[in-house]
Structure 1
């Protein structure tokens, strides 16, 4: 309970920060707060002691529940309305960024599952994808913390950088929305970036972004299938090809597509999903130790920034093709 209460308190603080600065998404504020807390020496004994069990539950179980509820944001009807060209180019951006980032991470010698997790976050849907992929391959919380910090950093930079490039690149408001949806990582960051160009851009950006979110299930399933081919080690038995929370995510997508759910239910689920993910990302942020990353963290930073440029460039090309 102590760790969960701290995570819930952090979610409240992140919400207040979002109210004060609407351009800063709650999830971004939560990660930043967690990183700050994790650097305070006086708090580290508590983080590693009495708070650790609750923070571990927040970083794992609450994150998975949040991903399941994320499925209620998606409707296959809305995605189909984009047209096959937009859908195909969006899928292409996801796959090319995913493969390219993994290759880049391995070339820079990033340890463990970091290349896979960074690729998942930058190509699919930010910290949610990192948590989903981390759960599928049984990555340690420490392995997930750095990719979460990177995707939060770059997504925050996108909120400032992409609007500045909107006019110089000659994009219409609709084209800008498509570019943001295909090139920015987290859903909250997409909303914060696209709303600058108006409601039409925001609507397009959200639908394109949710098309990328839908790629979470097949990408996790394929990765889990690849993991099953590796020898079993001390981490335990092979992961399921489709983890239970991913099956729940798909069930939520189908439910929202096939059943006319009341608005109050969707609104409540959206708010609960935001709270769960905010608590989870605070817990992941609190596990980051910047001092320990100083010697090797530059490699992950280079991979993250390069992946960000890659996804933005591919997304811009997708807009031109569309």
Structure 2
């Protein structure tokens, strides 16, 4: 008589960390709902950084939660970047006029090159100069996640730029409105400045809404023009990384010329531009994108080690602050150029 056999399902290693990330995203949403001035994604990053510093939580973060945190920080980030393309309408961007578009692109390129050079000047390790330049010049932590998908940095290399872009973007929410009237800007010009100079989309909304709906509309469209630069910048980095790997090891697996998630981002932007999507679809995609990015940024935040950052990361901090000032000045110049 044969004994029945029972199959035991193996536990899914990434599930606990993924559940924690989802719970953290809910907490971040609650913080944003209670204090609207705090962007949801900023709250998610800060919450991850705080959890990563708690001694009691450290064994879980580097142990059973690690697979899920890594999955969120990498794969969910890429899906969120694809959905970000559904916010882009090329028609809205074209409505800005060629002067505004050209000056916005110039701000991205100059600030990217300037920040990268500053990071190299301060001898930041690994891919940090590239990641900081990407996050500060394009669209904050989302851009850092997209670029990380190509260059495959160590977790701490990506975590430090995310912490810096969160810090400086949060500072912008409070500092830029104080300079609005002293600089003699009207509401639309202030919105233009915010869209061209603040890093993350949520931080742009939190800063520009102070000047009213008109300023917010201008800020979001200018910001999405910067977001549009994400695809070519990541594609160029992929080509450079591919060439570097070929020179270092011809047999090594090389990244694609255009990463799949970048192609998805472009397709999503084209769909948003040429197809009349119902509001329920765009709103649903926007909500899903926000949730995925909040989970991803919480996962990235848990990799930040403040003790290490304070002890050895002063060069990265100085790089971030100089870049923040550089972008704010360049963006202000773009506003004045467009107003002439």
1:124 equivalent in structure 2: 138
User: Of 254, 263, 278, which aligns to 1:238?
Assistant: 254
Q: What CA deviation, in whole Å up to 9, does each residue of 1:267-296 have, x standing for no partner?
A: 000000000000000000001111122221
2:208 equivalent in structure 1: 194
1:170 equivalent in structure 2: 184
1:247 equivalent in structure 2: 263
**Where do residues 72-151 of structure 1 align in structure 2 (5 Å cutoff)?**
72-151=86-165
Q: What CA deviation, in whole Å up to 9, does each residue of 1:107-150 have, x standing for no partner?
A: 00000000000000000000000000111111122211000000
2:309 and 2:333 map into 1 onto residues whose CA distance is: 34
1:316 equivalent in structure 2: 332
Q: How many residues align?
A: 322
Instruction: Tell me if 1:227 matches 2:241.
Output: yes
1:14 equivalent in structure 2: 28
* TM-score normalised to structure 1 length: 0.98
1:309 and 1:238 map into 2 onto residues whose CA distance is: 36
Verify the 8 A CA contact 2:245 2:252 in the aligned structure 1. Answer: no
Residue aligned with 1:229, SS: helix
Specify the structure having the higher radius of gyration (Cα).
2
Instruction: Tell me if 1:217 matches 2:228.
Output: no
What is the CA distance between 1:236 and its match in structure 2? 4.9
Verify the 8 A CA contact 1:59 1:141 in the aligned structure 2. Answer: no
User: Of 260, 272, 297, which aligns to 1:281?
Assistant: 297
Instruction: Tell me if 1:39 matches 2:53.
Output: yes
What is the CA distance between 1:199 and its match in structure 2? 0.5
Instruction: Tell me if 1:28 matches 2:42.
Output: yes
2:81 and 2:262 map into 1 onto residues whose CA distance is: 8
2:278 and 2:252 map into 1 onto residues whose CA distance is: 42
1:184 equivalent in structure 2: 198
| Distance 1:95-1:44 versus aligned 2 partners, 3 A rule | same
2:30 and 2:183 map into 1 onto residues whose CA distance is: 35
Q: What CA deviation, in whole Å up to 9, does each residue of 1:199-232 have, x standing for no partner?
A: 0000000000000000000000111111111135
Verify the 8 A CA contact 2:48 2:298 in the aligned structure 1. Answer: yes
Residue aligned with 2:148, SS: helix
Q: What CA deviation, in whole Å up to 9, does each residue of 1:224-269 have, x standing for no partner?
A: 1111111356895221111000000000000000000000000000
1:121 and 1:23 map into 2 onto residues whose CA distance is: 21
| Distance 1:159-1:199 versus aligned 2 partners, 3 A rule | same
1:291 and 1:151 map into 2 onto residues whose CA distance is: 18
Unaligned runs of 5+ in 2: 1-14
1:305 equivalent in structure 2: 321
2:213 and 2:97 map into 1 onto residues whose CA distance is: 20
Instruction: Tell me if 1:266 matches 2:262.
Output: no
Verify the 8 A CA contact 1:90 1:212 in the aligned structure 2. Answer: yes
1:52 equivalent in structure 2: 66
